[in-house]
Structure 1
Amino acid sequence: MDKVAVVIPNYNGYRYLETCFAALAKQTFTEFTTYFVDNGSQDESCAFLREHYPETKIIQLDDNYGFSRAVNEGIRRSKEPYVILLNNDTEVFPDFVERLYEGICKRKNAFACSAKLISYQERDKIDDAGNYYNMLGWAFARGKGKPVSEFETSDRIFAACAGAAIYRREFLEKTGLFDEEHFAYLEDTDIGYRARLLGYENWYEPSAKVYHVGSGTSGSRYNLFKIRYSSRNNIYLIYKNMPVLQILLNLPVFILGFSAKLVFFASKGYGKEYLAGIKNGFFICRKPENRAKKIRFEWKRLGTYFVIEWELFINVFRRFLERA
């Protein structure tokens, strides 16, 4: 059995596949199997792979079930002890798999290691160097738009960016897989948060490099789908992962953060969509199956709650410093 499963979710991403798979074919590390999970595409994605990359294991779903369901199908079908999740709109460097594998193996408590995602269009700029989450209720890509040269050091992060990251299967069995209620957006922050609550770590591995187009499936940076699902999932993420007392403690800051986002998106013409997403977020929190997913308060985790709360506070300043 190979050591690594590379799981690639896809929805009508045919135009990206030649670049993505040609780069995977040049890897220095060869002990991996590629699982391609197709979300009911209407294009030539699967036909292309059958013709040009027949060794790829193709999992075809009958509809578009979103990112979380797609990667979960790939994780379940694979058996390798490590799982790399990779977006279809990427071009990995030749040692990408090797560097991620080495990065997680040398950190015994690592739940995930996030790669260095570099902008495909501006190749001297970072697209994502790991995910942060802060007390304002904002999830953001670390380093976005900054020079690549500023992110050469490995570091702990709040969560890995699931667009290019490796996960330890042993720990996935403890945290559970990606929450399919998320459909798309913040699912990687959610699972990273769950891992942190269990005492695991998430790391940024700068030696594993990949070019990333960005919004390859959803389209533009700001669109109705992305704004609605991001705001919806943010409410759900907070409800699910934070004890009630922590939510109440941070409530004034959450209100400030969500209000600032509302003003921003209203200025872009998306105010109604942002509010609709928040409303839907409260609705899905009331669903019995989602209430059952809420992580219960445990006294033995008290120290972890304080560590995370401090990190959420510090990340407010990190957000504004990165914008400076």
Structure 2
Amino acid sequence: MSTENDTAWPAVSLVVLNWNGRQLLEMCLPSLANVDYPHCEIILVDNGSTDDSVTFVREHFPQVVIVANEENLGFSKGMNVGLRQAQGNVVVLVNNDVVVRPNWLRALVRPLTTDDTVGITGCKLLFPDGQTIQHAGAELTYPLAHSHHYGYQETDEGQYDEPREVDYVTGAAMAIAHQVLDDVGLLDEGFAPFYFEDADFCYRVRAAGYRVMYVPEAVAIHHESASMRQVKYSRLYAFHKNRLRFVLKHYTTRQFLDDFIPAEMERLKEPASPEELRTVRRAYLETMLALPEMLSLRGEVDKAELFQAALEQLRETALGQRSTIYGSRPDAWYQEELMARRMLHEPTFSSDKPVIGPLIAAFREAWNNVSTKWYVRLILQQQVAFNTLAAELLDDLGDQARTNARDAALLARELAAMHRQFAELAAEVRDDLDELRQQLDRIEQMLEHDSDGDGDG
């Protein structure tokens, strides 16, 4: 038990996000309930769990405040629900797969109470073996914005035991001064359903003049991605989509066009699975559709065509890489080959045994004729019909997919053009309003002058 003056510590709100994590809560909540800290509330935000998470918490942890969402809102949106409920001077985001040590919270909060320039603190996270480092602060590599966690998979031998300023800390266990939330706002819910929301928040906080600190005395065990193994949503797609969102939020135009785009095109030339290529093409397309919103935030709507062309170039490069993996055959070849192989044929039997071989083959042929006539032939007919239907369906789907891709790209260009026209129109309206305001000011001055003249007379 700490001997420090308990009245000097700020009130803390621990916000735990949960989705179908009853077994994880059995480990997480007892560790939070037993932290050595005087003024602490625990808020559980349940993202529409279908297991008995909420019932379990109500029965075993009645002191926990439960906020039950009707559906899975993802990380940012779910956490924001809890952040709005939090009453503490310090708010700590906690994953439901984190187990903390008793002195974890005091160590995490202390820098926020002794240095006003510190806005966020993060802890040392270990893998379940308690010896291997998972996180000791982090950075994003430039220009591709890939995450690099310091110490990842290194044995903890004290090499990361010095507090230091870092680019960002993971949202799995992050302490935030409440004043920071007032100054910077909540998590960006555009980073749905997860990935990059913690890095984005830390970058925004640093841009506001605060520091982000890694605190090695605050130690916790993280059962990494234990809850996300249940998520059916494509993690690969979420990663690429949100990586692009982060880049568009934090890179200058020149950084995006001159550094990120060439580096991303080189990355696409590396060996990749068909799934990743499909996923990244989808992420590029979704980003094209989100360009109007992103460019409005940047105040660069007039540069829509530059960003649009760059993203289209990435999509074409990814598509070309698919052709490299599969060879130069056009898509039609696969439909033709499937149609050619759709017919199944009865086997012809033979035997290499001398003398009795022909008799064995004749017996097998006779038996096959009987079984084929009464059973197998019917199955073959059904399989041929199914194969034919599958080939025709794949052909239709291929045509539809190509049409959809062209329509989506066209829609993205049209949306960008419409948004640019809207921005130009809004600028014209602002100019007209400014001119009207100036005219009203001149009229008011003239009226005042006339009024003064009448008084003198």
TM-score using structure 1 length? 0.83
Taking a change above 3 Å as real, the CA distance of residues 44 and 291 of structure 1, as seen in their structure-2 partners, is farther
The separation in 2 between residues aligned to 1:97 and 1:107, in whole angstroms, is 17
Match of 1:33 in 2: 41
The separation in 2 between residues aligned to 1:82 and 1:141, in whole angstroms, is 24
The separation in 1 between residues aligned to 2:78 and 2:107, in whole angstroms, is 25
Match of 2:288 in 1: 282
- 1:244 shift after superposition: 2.0
Taking a change above 3 Å as real, the CA distance of residues 243 and 201 of structure 1, as seen in their structure-2 partners, is same
Give the letter for the 1:199 counterpart: G
Match of 2:115 in 1: 107
The separation in 2 between residues aligned to 1:73 and 1:6, in whole angstroms, is 13
1:69 aligns with 2:77: yes
- 1:295 shift after superposition: 7.7
Unaligned runs of 5+ in 1: 297-324
Structure possessing the higher radius of gyration over alpha carbons: 2
Taking a change above 3 Å as real, the CA distance of residues 293 and 216 of structure 1, as seen in their structure-2 partners, is farther
> Is the strand fraction higher in 1 or 2?
1
Give the letter for the 1:73 counterpart: V
The separation in 2 between residues aligned to 1:54 and 1:241, in whole angstroms, is 42
The separation in 2 between residues aligned to 1:285 and 1:140, in whole angstroms, is 27
1:129 alignment partner, one of 127, 132, 136: 136
Match of 1:181 in 2: 190
Match of 2:126 in 1: 118
Residues 231 and 281, structure 1, Cα contact 8 Å, conserved in 2? no
RMSD over aligned CA atoms reads: 2.3
Match of 2:200 in 1: 190
Match of 1:304 in 2: none
Taking a change above 3 Å as real, the CA distance of residues 254 and 15 of structure 1, as seen in their structure-2 partners, is same
The separation in 2 between residues aligned to 1:95 and 1:202, in whole angstroms, is 20
Residues 122 and 174, structure 2, Cα contact 8 Å, conserved in 1? yes
The separation in 1 between residues aligned to 2:48 and 2:277, in whole angstroms, is 31
Unaligned runs of 5+ in 2: 1-8, 301-457
Residues 12 and 89, structure 2, Cα contact 8 Å, conserved in 1? yes
The separation in 2 between residues aligned to 1:124 and 1:176, in whole angstroms, is 36
2:237 alignment partner, one of 228, 232, 235: 228
Match of 1:90 in 2: 98
Residues 224 and 273, structure 1, Cα contact 8 Å, conserved in 2? no
Give the letter for the 1:145 counterpart: Q
TM-score using structure 2 length? 0.59
> Is the helix fraction higher in 1 or 2?
2
The separation in 2 between residues aligned to 1:74 and 1:224, in whole angstroms, is 23
- 1:44 shift after superposition: 0.7
Which runs of structure 2 are paired with 1:1-324 in the superposition (5 Å)? 3-120=11-128, 122-135=129-142, 136-149=144-157, 150-183=159-192, 184-219=194-229, 225-252=234-261, 254-255=263-264, 258-259=267-268, 263=270, 266-267=272-273, 269-286=275-292, 288=293, 290-294=294-298
The separation in 2 between residues aligned to 1:252 and 1:228, in whole angstroms, is 18
Matched residues, percent identical? 25
Taking a change above 3 Å as real, the CA distance of residues 211 and 107 of structure 1, as seen in their structure-2 partners, is same
Residues 38 and 46, structure 1, Cα contact 8 Å, conserved in 2? yes
Question: How many pairs align?
Answer: 289
The separation in 1 between residues aligned to 2:33 and 2:115, in whole angstroms, is 27
Residues 20 and 51, structure 2, Cα contact 8 Å, conserved in 1? yes
